[in-house]
Amino acid sequence: MDVSRLHLFPIKNYHPTPHALLGPGAHEMIGVSAAQLGFRRTLLMTTGLRGTGIVDEVRGIVEAAGVEVVVFDRVESNPKDRNVMAAHAAYTGEACDSFISLGGGSSHDCTKATRVVAAHDGRNINDFKGPLALDNPVLPPHIAVSTTAGTGSETSFAFVITDTSSGQTNHKFASFAHQIAPTMCIDDPVLFMTLPPDLTAYCGFDVLAHASGAFVSILDMYPSWGPALHAIELTFQHLPTAVGNGYDAVAREQMMYAQYIAGQAFNSAGLDAVHSISHAVSASFDTHHGMGNGIALAHVWEHNLSANFRKYARMAQAMGVDTRGMTEPQAADAALAAASRLADDVGIPQSFTSLPDYSKSRVGKHDLPPVSATDDDVTRIAQHALGDVCTVTNPRMLTPEAMERLVRESLVGSRA
């Protein structure tokens, strides 16, 4: 048989997503859902939400359903291995039987990782990297409750953790297995209302990076194309309003749906090098993941356009660009211009070395390390990004030289 004509990925692997409750008021069902799932004593894992009232409200809802709650609010943004192990110590020390994560991707990812550790007798999370064949496939149950519209982690079968034991600089790694997907997720735009404008914008570009990366991925996951394109459309229609007026109920709800369906899209389709660069930079400098996606997006798109003008042209239509009379390369260029304009409109920084002061909640430390762009920084970050799982599905091959150029542009350059 002549296999030369077979597609690079002929068999499509559609991964599971959890049962979901979506829409205004959905968070009122957390307690009932936990009780129905058999929770008796649950570890509520969260980040910097202390003082917002959300943690106390959710705790009260869960306890009213007869489920005891232990709060662990020491998850850092870009969750670290130490956060996972500390959460596991709390889980075992408090004799918990289940998890609720409350927040964005940091809370959800840290919780998913802690479940893996709990199912393997406290082994260090750094032992679980990449695709996992779990010795114990039965993980403790988990309800993921989102307070941001960006991550999609509440729908996915993967987590990303920062290994702080890997040398002079940290290293981010992704792990995935079907059992890692939460048991249930809850997305309620009411919980998004108090998210600051800058984080709303950064999380929104996480949505755009998920949707666009899933659409152009070389996996060519057809079932993901529709959700990805619709998430792009919703983001361009509603993100500016959500940033400008966080109490606009329509904008918040539509961004909630954009997050959810973009998460479903990349869960099976993979992503592109936008995420690879954001992962690598945040490993070194602890920058906000969504913001990093917003900075890297235009540079990666410009590199990728020639590999698939058709898909970028189709994305331009989803963005609201009138592509009638344009060639596919012209429409693809228009998509890049539209994405750059949206980034400018909502306040995405031009580069990693020109970051403004921005809202960022971290445990015990609120000053960001300055981002530097020495030759050593560029080389280290590019090597990290080349090894990232998202680079594998980037639509255009990336040589070490090409990745170093994209990293340098993201660190010190500006959008087209």
Range 168-187 average pLDDT: 94
pLDDT above 60: residue 178: yes
pLDDT of 382 reads 98
The confidence band for 167, taking pLDDT boundaries of 50, 70 and 90, is confident
Of residues 321, 351, 395, the one with CA closest to residue 8:
395
Q: What is the pLDDT of residues 291-342, one digit of tens each?
A: 999 999 999 999 999 999 999 999 999 999 999 999 999 999 999 999 999 9
List, in order, residues 6 or more apart from 111 with CB less than 8 Å away.
45, 87, 99, 100, 101, 142, 144, 182
Is domain 19-192 annotated with CATH 3.40.50.1970?
Answer: yes
Q: What is the pLDDT of residues 262-282, one digit of tens each?
A: 999 999 999 999 999 999 999
CATH class of domain segment(s) 197-412? mainly alpha
Q: What's the Cα-to-Cα distance from 157 to each of 116, 152, 387, rounded to whole Å?
A: 12, 10, 20
The confidence band for 8, taking pLDDT boundaries of 50, 70 and 90, is low
Query: Across the chain, what does the average pLDDT equal?
Result: 94
Contact 283, 221 (CB under 8 A): no
> Strand 171-176 relative to strand 158-163: parallel, antiparallel, unpaired?
antiparallel
- Percent of the chain surpassing pLDDT 90: 90
Q: What's the Cα-to-Cα distance from 145 to each of 58, 111, 116, 288, 373, rounded to whole Å?
A: 9, 11, 19, 20, 37
pLDDT above 70: residue 365: no
Bridge partners (DSSP) of residue 99 are 43, 142
Of all helices (H) and strands (E), which one includes residue 100? strand 98-103
| Residue 80 DSSP symbol | B
pLDDT of 1 reads 42
pLDDT above 70: residue 228: yes
Q: What is the pLDDT of residues 101-152, one digit of tens each?
A: 999 999 999 999 999 999 999 999 999 999 999 999 999 999 999 999 999 9
Measured distance CA(358)–CA(26) in Å, rounded: 29
Range 365-382 average pLDDT: 85
Q: What's the Cα-to-Cα distance from 141 to each of 29, 265, 283, rounded to whole Å?
A: 16, 23, 29
| Domains of the chain by residue range | 19-192, 197-412
pLDDT of 3 reads 47
pLDDT of 302 reads 98
Range 365-390 average pLDDT: 89
Bigger pLDDT: 10 vs 35: 35
pLDDT of 363 reads 46
pLDDT above 60: residue 366: no
